[in-house]
Structure 1
Amino acid sequence: MKYLSHILLCLSLLFTSSTFALEQKYHEFVLPVITAFAAHDKPTIAALISYPLKRQYPIPDIKNETEFINRFDEVFNDELVAVIASSNIDTDWESGGWRGIMLNNGVVWVDTEGKIIAVNTQNAKEQALAKRLIEHDKQSLHSSVNTFKKPILDWKTANYHIRVDDLGDHNYRYAVWNIDKRAKDKPDMVLFNGDVTVSGSGSNHYYTFKNGRYSYILHVTIIGCDTSPPGWLEVYKDDERLLFEDVISTH
């Protein structure tokens, strides 16, 4: 029921929107964003961010305006700044319903209060930082799971510590520990060959891992409602749901 309540709330907000086209009333929220980027005004841009600004794991989220200004170049390189600054509000921006207003099919998202809520790119500087953090991350793990190409998720629920890693070519691995264990301990279970499914233009998606009749599904929230958790775990035996737990902390 808890999972269903998340979906019903989001759907109710979605269908109360009369149109998915960008209406004139939303221009006032997007125009200040375009203007700030055209002026390369970092303090103003920082004030237009909804914090924390999520970054792709293992990059830590940006928590406040001061940190954003210090890390500005990690998120916005010259190319992305130019794309936003030169964007046409009538042709490049469109409504995504309850999720907000998106630029170029979801590269940047702005909510209906004029705040930037998501930046779905990773430039060369952020990629270099990610590479360094990945090497550090590997040293904290048990030897059975410290080899991978790219970390995807590092989650904690009330009862579990969960990791998803890409072993290369989108070969996803799932590892889980009881919450009272360390990542240096051997995982309680490891599954391979997970699938990822993307849900719409907001970049929300979920990973599915199979173990016989059991399915382990990890839903990732990129754009959600105010009540949406960062994600949630579901476990099914055939069609019967055995477990539902919200994510309470990420990396």
Structure 2
Amino acid sequence: MIKKILSGAFCISLFTFSYAGERPSTITTAVEVQPFQQIPKTVIIKTKKFKIRIDKQPNGKYLYQSWAANAKITSKPSMIISDGELIPDGSGGNYYFRFLNNGYTYEVWRNYLTDSASKAPYTLSVTDDNDKEIVNQDGVVVKQ
């Protein structure tokens, strides 16, 4: 009987000492992942056929304006689309802007991480309401 009591006391003291050094687990909160590059408030890109300006609006949405490639950006835009959104693409910093206009989806992709060193920094993609791509043009930064 004494052996059982001593054995029980020994086990309790052993467990007490082994757990005495442990610290309580801390609760972690979600951390916002920042891309490697800052997203500009305004960017102007030029593709083969278009000049495109994208501006962040005070409400957090984005504004898309486009002109013919040879037009001056100070002239009236040929197209204006408001309420665009920024969509992150993966964890490497790529993202794209999406704008919806009369059944068409305009996406301007920012290509930070690509499989080719010669890939343009931006790509314009326009699809119709059947998800058929009707425009796909690479673009370079005119002003950021």
TM-score range (shorter-chain normalised) is: 0.5 to 0.7
Q: Following the alignment from structure 2 to structure 1, what is the Cα–Cα distance between the partners of residues 38 and 123?
A: 23
Partner of 1:247: 139
Question: Cα RMSD over matched residues?
Answer: 2.2
CA displacement 1:136-180 (0-9 Å, x = unmatched): xxxxxxxxxxxxxx31x2100011000100111321100000011
- Which residue of 194, 206, 219 maps to 2:109? 219
Q: AA paired with 1:169? A: N
Partner of 1:170: 60
TM-score normalized by structure 1?
0.40
- Which gives a bigger RCO, structure 1 or 2 (Cα 8 Å, sep 6+)? 2
CA displacement 1:112-157 (0-9 Å, x = unmatched): xxxxxxx5369xxxxxxx9xxxxxxxxxxxxxxxxxxx31x21000
Partner of 2:100: 210
Q: AA paired with 1:185? A: S
Q: AA paired with 1:120? A: Q
Higher share of residues assigned strand = 2
Q: Following the alignment from structure 1 to structure 2, what is the Cα–Cα distance between the partners of residues 217 and 121?
A: 19
CA displacement 1:32-60 (0-9 Å, x = unmatched): xxxxxxxxxxxxxxxxxxxxxxxxxxxxx
Higher share of residues assigned helix = 1
Q: Following the alignment from structure 1 to structure 2, what is the Cα–Cα distance between the partners of residues 221 and 250?
A: 16
Give unpaired runs (5+ residues) of structure 1: 1-104, 108-118, 123-129, 131-149
Q: Following the alignment from structure 2 to structure 1, what is the Cα–Cα distance between the partners of residues 69 and 85?
A: 25
Q: Following the alignment from structure 1 to structure 2, what is the Cα–Cα distance between the partners of residues 241 and 191?
A: 19
Is 1:155 equivalent to 2:50 in the alignment?
A: no
TM-score normalized by structure 2?
0.68
Q: Following the alignment from structure 1 to structure 2, what is the Cα–Cα distance between the partners of residues 222 and 169?
A: 26
Is 1:235 equivalent to 2:134 in the alignment?
A: no
The answer to whether the 8 A contact 1:157-1:248 is kept is yes
Q: Following the alignment from structure 1 to structure 2, what is the Cα–Cα distance between the partners of residues 195 and 230?
A: 19
The answer to whether the 8 A contact 1:158-1:248 is kept is no
Give unpaired runs (5+ residues) of structure 2: 1-32
Q: Which has the larger radius of gyration?
A: 2
The answer to whether the 8 A contact 1:157-1:249 is kept is no
Partner of 1:110: none
